[in-house]
Amino acid sequence: PINITVVRTGLTKPMDISLVRAVIPLDSVRSVTIKPGYGYIWVTNFRAKTASDVKDALKKLESEKEPLKGLILDLRDDPGGLLNQAVAVADIFLEKGIIVSIKGRNKKDNEVFKAKPNTVHHDYPMVVLINGGTASAAEIVTGALQDDHRAIVIGTRSFGKGSVQTVQPLRNGYGLKYTVALYYTPSGKSIQAEGIVPDLVVKRELLDETSGDGIDSKMIKEKDLKNHLTGEDEAIKNEKTAPKTKAETKDKNKADEKVESDVEKLLRLREAVYTHSTKAPETLLQDSQVNRAYEILKGYDIFTSWKK
């Protein structure tokens, strides 16, 4: 236990609170069946056990009464994490070929990661969801599945963090972190400042409301950061725009407030499914991007059933 004292406006005297410290599990993988036969896996970041957690989630989804006909892999707002876990997650769904390549000025920094044949096969169609918050390791997984034609990618362009860093130890316990290489997708595309372009651009919004240009339109990308590494295809443009009128500024502020409100609603919607505060996983379908992913998988199943 630990005792803390809180001083707060409105209190006549300090307030003492006793807390019991505990180990808080940090789960990076959550899953749910949205509709019978259609699974949804949300990866929040790539930690030490992410790949094994994804496998466990797949076992759970595949053990449902209705056979799994399609899978939605949600990598939105996933900042990345461990490279080896990104490679391992992509390898779950790939049987062969390159997953990601690392290329630097020095040949010693070059490395190629390849997929290995799996003993358990997951042959159902997949959709990967991305947005401006999808970065680094999450972009590696997305790029590998997209280039291998293993999954359709929908959403908005990803962050574009395709650089590799290392740390050079210095004296007195200090260190210098610097960039040594870039990530490349299997087709040879650099992620840096370019990001992953979705196969289908779908703006995120609540289906029962309108959200202007979508709630991801204001997210900062790698290319927006000062002194970022220039992407291979990035063009430098200095376009002058006319100053906005007061009316235009007021309308924009209202639109921004609406976007922020929708962000909060969608985040609460996704969290509610996993905290069991709602018993209806299909409420996730109010998210326009999740809904489109489900429609794509459902449509694929309809077409293949016709061929049979």
Asked about 161 being catalytic, the answer comes back as yes
Asked about 251 being catalytic, the answer comes back as no
Q: Locate tokens 């395709």: which residue?
A: 162
Q: Which two tokens stand for residue 244?
A: 């906005």
- The span from the first CA to the last CA of the chain, in angstroms, equals 64
**How far, in Å, are 216, 257, 292 from residue 89 at the CA level?**
25, 37, 23
HSE, CB side, 13 Å, CA atoms: give it for residue 293: 35
Asked about 136 being catalytic, the answer comes back as yes
Consecutive H or E run containing 145: helix 137-147
Phi, psi of 243 (to 5 degrees): -60, 145
List the catalytic residue out of 77, 147, 148, 287: 147
List the catalytic residue out of 161, 190, 262, 287: 161
HSE, CB side, 13 Å, CA atoms: give it for residue 53: 19
**How far, in Å, are 45, 157, 235, 236 from residue 239 at the CA level?**
36, 22, 12, 10
Which of 210, 173, 216, 166 lies closest to 195 in space, CA to CA? 216
Helix (H, G, I), strand (E, B) or coil at 181: strand
Q: Given the DSSP bridges, would you call strands 111-114 and 98-104 parallel, antiparallel or unpaired? A: antiparallel
Give the C-alpha separation, 107 to 209, whole Å: 52
List the catalytic residue out of 28, 31, 101, 136: 136
Amino acid present at 146: Q
Just list the catalytic residues: 136, 147, 161
